[in-house]
């Protein structure tokens, strides 16, 4: 409370989610959910027929997939093993080594995936 008003101080946020549980107005919500690589791939592979028919693939994007580069790489590696085309959308405002680790598992390889 600040001068009788509720104030959200983002710089003090510990990303614990407790505020969403106690927000009297229901204005704060937690969007998204944590998933494993296996869970993500289960969802991705539901659209396999679309990828095969359209020559489409999987693009990791916003937030920025480089922020979670290890998780992103694991997903991209699994997509490649399933012969799915892969791409990332990034601002490239990151450590070069983190971005470079994703490049070998994006795009088409010599087998066309």
Asked if the structure places residue 43 within a domain, the reply is: yes
The CATH number that applies at residue 66 is 3.80.30.10
Answer whether residue 113 shows pLDDT above 60: no
Return d(Cα 109, Cα 88) in angstroms, integer: 15
Q: What is the pLDDT of residues 68-105, one digit of tens each?
A: 999 999 999 999 999 999 999 999 999 999 999 999 99
> Quick check: bond before 63 cis, omega within 30?
yes
State which residues form the domain around 46.
32-105
Residue 91 lies in a domain: yes
Number of domains in the chain: 1
In a domain, 10, yes or no: no
Per-residue confidence (pLDDT) for residue 112, from 0 to 100: 53
20 is a domain residue: no
On whether residue 25 sits in a domain, the answer given is: no
Summarize pLDDT for 18-70 with one digit per residue, the tens: 888 888 888 888 788 889 999 999 999 999 999 989 988 999 998 899 999 99
Whether 26 maps to a domain, the answer reads no
Residues 6+ apart with CB under 8 A from 73: 101, 102, 105
48 domain-assigned: yes
pLDDT of 111 reads: 58
Considering only residues 7 and 109, tell me which one the structure prediction assigns the higher pLDDT. Answer: 7
All residues at 6 or more sequence positions from 66 whose CB lies less than 8 Å from its CB, including other chains: 72, 88, 90, 92, 94, 98, 99, 102
């Amino acid at each position: 409370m600040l001068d009788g008003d509720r104030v959200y101080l983002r710089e003090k946020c510990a990303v614990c989610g407790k505020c969403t549980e106690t927000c009297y107005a229901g204005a704060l919500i937690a969007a998204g959910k944590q998933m494993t690589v296996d869970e993500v791939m289960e969802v991705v592979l539901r659209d396999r027929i679309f990828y095969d028919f359209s020559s489409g693939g999987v693009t990791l994007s916003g937030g920025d997939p480089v922020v979670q580069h290890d998780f992103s790489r694991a997903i991209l590696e699994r997509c490649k093993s399933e012969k799915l085309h892969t791409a990332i959308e990034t601002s490239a405002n990151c450590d070069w080594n983190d971005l470079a680790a994703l490049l070998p598992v994006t795009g088409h390889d010599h087998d066309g995936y």
